[in-house]
Amino acid sequence: MEERRAGFIRQEMERWEEAALSPFASLSSKSRGRKIEEPACDIRPVYQRDRDRILHCKSFRRLKHKTQVFLTPKGDHYRTRLTHTLEVAQIARTVARALRLNEELTEAIALGHDLGHAPFGHAGERALDQVADCGFAHNEQSVRVVELLEKKGQGLNLTWEVRDGIRNHPTAGQPHTLEGKIVRLADKIAYINHDIDDAIRGGILAEKDIPWDYRRILGFTTRERLNTLIHDVIYQSFGKPDIGMSEQVEKAMGDLRRFMFANVYTNPRAKGQEEKAENLLKSLFTCYMEHPSLLPEEYMQLIEKQGESQDRVVCDYIAGMTDQYATEKFQELYVPDVWSVR
């Protein structure tokens, strides 16, 4: 009786989606499913279940100790990869709710989109991509995390729609769901604005340094710019089978993004330590390629029993490290104990 009643709860939620959501929404009952079939949850539709799996996984928890933009910032209020992820999820859910799209799918994609990010932000991503024959891209690594690396090689077995949204969240991506397209835009909206906020806090940028033309269109504070961008996405996408922005606002956001690349993302004050971080990860990569026996057992199993290439598995291990753990491993492998700082 209780099992039938619990199953009825999930079915009622699926029926609510069919009745209440936009005709363009991705319905839980219509998901393309998981790579490995499994019994449905009694009370949760599939996308809610995926969201919960991501939220409770170890890779998600490690994001709190991974760099967003600023390496070793002096202060508690700078963004980390985790706080960035939460801001993306908040923006994406706001848009999804206003458009009557699937919030659970949207949030699952947002929470999972950066799970595969290497330590030290994009500097770490560049370093691994340069040294590994297999290449390295954080969005593909995020998919690899949820498909294989989590739960000691079992993966999280997420739905196709969540994995598609994670894979296609970069600017060049083409998500197959509107929820994925929301996250793709929310990611840029979040990082452009919170990176401005962090840059101002760090004395690298002042509000008046942002060109007047961008501020006139988007707003004169971080709050105003977020408000403008989120409203524009909602109003331009409402009742349509696509997610977009007005030409004027989209151009201003693109110009602001390029301004940030020129003045913050490549600014020596913000990025002066990146070369050291890149060299650190490259040294770790070299060490584990030359001495694979130093890899943890679960990673050795990927090579020996699943036939994964060594460079891919070494990238898996290093990408999963936090900034602090990568630094500690470097010290352990390369710095004599007598010189180590404890």
Q: Using the predicted structure, report yes or no on whether residue 332 has a pLDDT greater than 70.
A: yes
pLDDT tens profile 21-71: 999 999 999 999 999 999 999 999 999 999 999 999 999 999 999 988 776
Q: Lowest-confidence range among 2-6, 67-71, 215-219, 305-309? A: 2-6
Q: What is the pLDDT of residue 1?
A: 44
pLDDT tens profile 75-119: 666 889 999 999 999 999 999 999 999 999 999 999 999 999 999
Mean pLDDT highest for which of 54-58, 200-204, 270-274?
54-58
Q: Using the predicted structure, report yes or no on whether residue 4 has a pLDDT greater than 60.
A: no
Identify whether the C-beta of residue 281 lies closer than 8 Å to the C-beta of residue 127. yes
Q: Using the predicted structure, report yes or no on whether residue 270 has a pLDDT greater than 90.
A: no
Identify whether the C-beta of residue 79 lies closer than 8 Å to the C-beta of residue 69. yes
Strand partners, 159: 34
Structure-model confidence comparison of residues 335 and 70, the more confident one? 335
Q: What is the pLDDT of residue 201?
A: 87
Of 342, 284, 267, residue with least CA distance to 71: 267
